[in-house]
Chains A and B, each alone.
Chain A
């Protein structure tokens, strides 16, 4: 996700590989996805960028609150709920399971 955005948009356009997702036109989407870096290093880079994006927005601020970690914990609870859904399905309040 290189954020090379040209200043002179009118004179020449940004190559497809380096566009951000919101700048990609709908017809170009499959080729954009195929051009992404799916090597382990690329995937690790994506996780790292995502982590720092969240961290710098919600935790690494001057007066951070409890919202930063509680969103992570709520997402963790939802993730575990998805994980256990198969067993929890049988504990619903239904007349016929």
Chain B
């Protein structure tokens, strides 16, 4: 009963970490965030044309949301909204559908032409169109499931190895030290994974966008 409202507050919590700039020269927190956002947006939007660059706000807020949510999930006892498939599907399906529909509206022939790669032998064409359609419809599912599975698997590994370290401490301290080293390395990996997953999600959305603008 109390679960749903608290989850909503926890999902909105990362937004507090990003204050909006009010002046020309801001405090250190905002300056660091501004620098990172400019760095990422320049790199991510360099491949798009004029039309694709209208998606800049969407892509940057996406990468900030996923990155901050994943990183906050590494704190002890915290709840990570991106482990829930429902949230990831809710992010992936509308974004993917937006790119596909943009493509169909503005460049109908080119979008349909994506279904058939160049230079295929004539007998293979029907099968290849079916395969391309399936691969198109799998894109949002893959986006959502990739993010869910990676973050969930990372959290699960941390829980299990941490529990193993605690259990082994009474039995054999040396094995516990080894397990603890594994835990430290895993946590470093999880920090990287948190950021990388955000990046991958956003990059793929931007690629789908590039194909369709």
| Chain A residues within CB distance 8 Å of chain B | 51, 55, 59-64, 68-69, 72-73, 76-77, 80-81, 83-84, 88
A59 to chain B: closest residue by CB = B29
CB-based contact A73/B75 at 8 Å: yes
List of B residues within 8 angstroms of A62 by Cβ: 27
Most buried by B among A76, A81, A88: A76
With A69-B17, A76-B13 in contact, is A59–B76 under 8 Å at CB?
Answer: no
Among B10, B13, B16, B78, chain A packs the most CB atoms within 10 A around the CB of B78
B residues within 8 A CB of A88?
A: 77
Pairwise interchain contact B6-A55, C-beta atoms closer than 8 A: no
24 pairs across A/B with beta carbons < 8 Å? A51-B16, A55-B19, A59-B27, A59-B29, A60-B19, A60-B27, A61-B27, A63-B28, A64-B29, A69-B17, A72-B16, A72-B17, A73-B72, A76-B72, A76-B75, A76-B78, A77-B75, A77-B76, A80-B10, A80-B77, A80-B79, A81-B76, A83-B6, A83-B79
- In whole angstroms, what is the CA distance A64 to B27 when docked? 7
Write the chain A residue with the least CB distance to B72: A76
Interface members, chain B 73-129 (any A CB < 8 Å): 75-79
Q: Which residues of A contact B77 (CB under 8 A)?
A: 77, 80-81, 83-84, 88
- Across the interface, name the chain B residue whose C-beta is closest to A51: B16
- Docked CA distance A10–B9 (Å): 47
Task: Kindly state the separation between the CA atoms of A60 and B17 in the bound complex, as whole angstroms.
Answer: 13
Chain A residues lying within 8 Å of B27, measured Cβ to Cβ, are 59-62, 64
Q: Which 6 A-B pairs have the closest CB atoms?
A: A80-B77, A80-B78, A60-B27, A64-B28, A81-B77, A84-B77
Nearest CB of chain B from residue A68's CB, rounded to whole Å: 7
Query: 0/1 per residue, B21-34, Cβ < 8 Å to A?
Result: 00000011100000
CB distance from A13 to the nearest CB of B (A): 38
- Tell which of B13, B72, B76, B77 has the most Cβ of chain A within 10 Å: B77
Contact of A80 among B16, B19, B75 (CB under 8 A): B75
The chain A residue sitting closest to B29, CB to CB, is: A59
Q: Is the CB of B29 within 8 A of A77?
A: no
Give, as a whole number of angstroms, the nearest-CB distance from A47 to chain B. 11
Residue of B nearest to A74 (CB): B75
Q: With both chains docked as a complex, state the minimum distance between the C-beta of B139 and any C-beta of chain A, in angstroms.
A: 34
The reply to whether B79 and A68 form a contact with Cβ atoms under 8 Å apart is: no
Are A68 and B78 in contact, CB atoms less than 8 angstroms apart? Answer: no
Complex: chain B residue closest to A63, CB-CB: B28
A10 to B: closest C-beta gap in Å: 40
Complex Cα gap A89–B6 (Å)? 20
Alpha-carbon gap, A73 to B72, bound state (A) = 8
CB neighbours of B17 from chain A (8 A): 69, 72
Contact residues in B for A73 (Cβ distance below 8 Å): 72, 75
A18 vs B16: C-alpha distance when bound (angstroms): 30
Bound Cα distance A27, B78 (Å): 42
Residues of B within 8 A of A69 (CB): 17, 29
